[in-house]
Amino acid sequence: MTAGALRRLAPSPNDPEKPDLVLHRGCDPVPEYNNPMLLPGMYPTLYPFGIGGFEDKSRPTPLGFENQAQCYLNLHDKSFRHHFSYLFVVLNMIQRRRAHLQTHFTVQTSRFRRVADMLTSLIAQTLSEVADIVEKEGNTKSLSSDQRTAFDLLRFVNTVAEKVPGSYAAKISARADVRNYFSYFGLPHLFFTFNPCAIHSPIFQVMYGDKTVDLSARFPNLVPAKERARRLAHDPVAAADYFQFSVNAVFEHLLGWNFKERKSSKQGGLLGKIRAFYGTTE
């Protein structure tokens, strides 16, 4: 993310109808951590007063990045969730933070001291050069001594990123959890795929904000399919809320699961009392 800020000035004397726009730019990256002015500077229409940024040290009560992002998406004012890029930029920042903070190296005990000395002797430029060679599948025979040291680390060091959602390591971790369930609870008696369709659901239309939908009617009147699809794309937060609501409703009212007590209800559900379940989302 390069340095840049947009500033609107007074109308130009040459053309008073059109104001000048000055774009400040530079080669130094803007810090992404502990920079409360980053997002207000990127989205002046969402932060018209230039306040309300993330990780603001002057805030009396500390507020985490993810908690504040979730708070903005649940405001009565839906400007944040309806913005065409804000949601994706913030999600990208969250994913990068998880990758930075939740990725660890593992190495065999016998090689720990050697690998530690190799890591501390390298500089960022060398690692960047080796990464570029590996990405482009270049020739590794002409590497310098420092580049060869960095390249050898690939054989000795493994990365663990199981807490980064969507990563390959996270999928492996989920499979390990499922296998652990097998050993503790026994083989599952039922596999099922649940895919609620928000486009055709009157409940989603209400969550989107359509107050004309009568949920007490057997066949509620809905807007045309094209408009329902547009609403789904326009408000992905409402779509996520609808998905979570649907999953909770199925498990609570159909399968008899009590989410508050984290166990089956006394009367059970359609399949009796559930001892345990494991679910993942794509």
Bigger pLDDT: 156 vs 239 = 239
> Across all residues in the chain, what is the average pLDDT?
85
pLDDT at 183: 87
Judge whether residue 12 has pLDDT over 80: no
The pLDDT tens digits for 77-105 are 899 999 989 999 999 999 888 888 877 77
Distance CA 27, CA 45 (A): 25
pLDDT at 13: 58
pLDDT at 11: 52
pLDDT at 4: 44
Distance CA 41, CA 63 (A): 20
The pLDDT tens digits for 127-155 are 888 888 888 877 777 788 888 888 888 77
pLDDT at 228: 94
Query: In this prediction, what percent of the chain has a pLDDT beyond 70?
Result: 91
Mean pLDDT confidence for 194-206: 93
Residues making up the chain, counted from first to last? 282
Distance CA 213, CA 228 (A): 13
Bigger pLDDT: 172 vs 219 = 219
Judge whether residue 194 has pLDDT over 60: yes
Judge whether residue 7 has pLDDT over 50: no
pLDDT at 65: 93
pLDDT at 71: 93
Between 13-27, 58-72, 157-171, the lowest mean confidence (pLDDT) is in 13-27
The residue among 7, 66, 14, 55 whose CA lies nearest residue 31 is 55
Mean pLDDT confidence for 11-18: 57
User: Is the entire prediction scored with pTM above 0.75?
Assistant: no
pLDDT at 5: 46
User: What 3-state class would DSSP assign to 158?
Assistant: strand
Distance CA 141, CA 126 (A): 16
Helices and strands, number each (H, E), in the chain: 11, 6
- pLDDT band at residue 111 using 50, 70 and 90 as cut-offs: confident
Mean pLDDT confidence for 15-33: 70
Judge whether residue 19 has pLDDT over 80: no
Judge whether residue 8 has pLDDT over 50: no
Between 100-104, 180-184, 278-282, the lowest mean confidence (pLDDT) is in 100-104
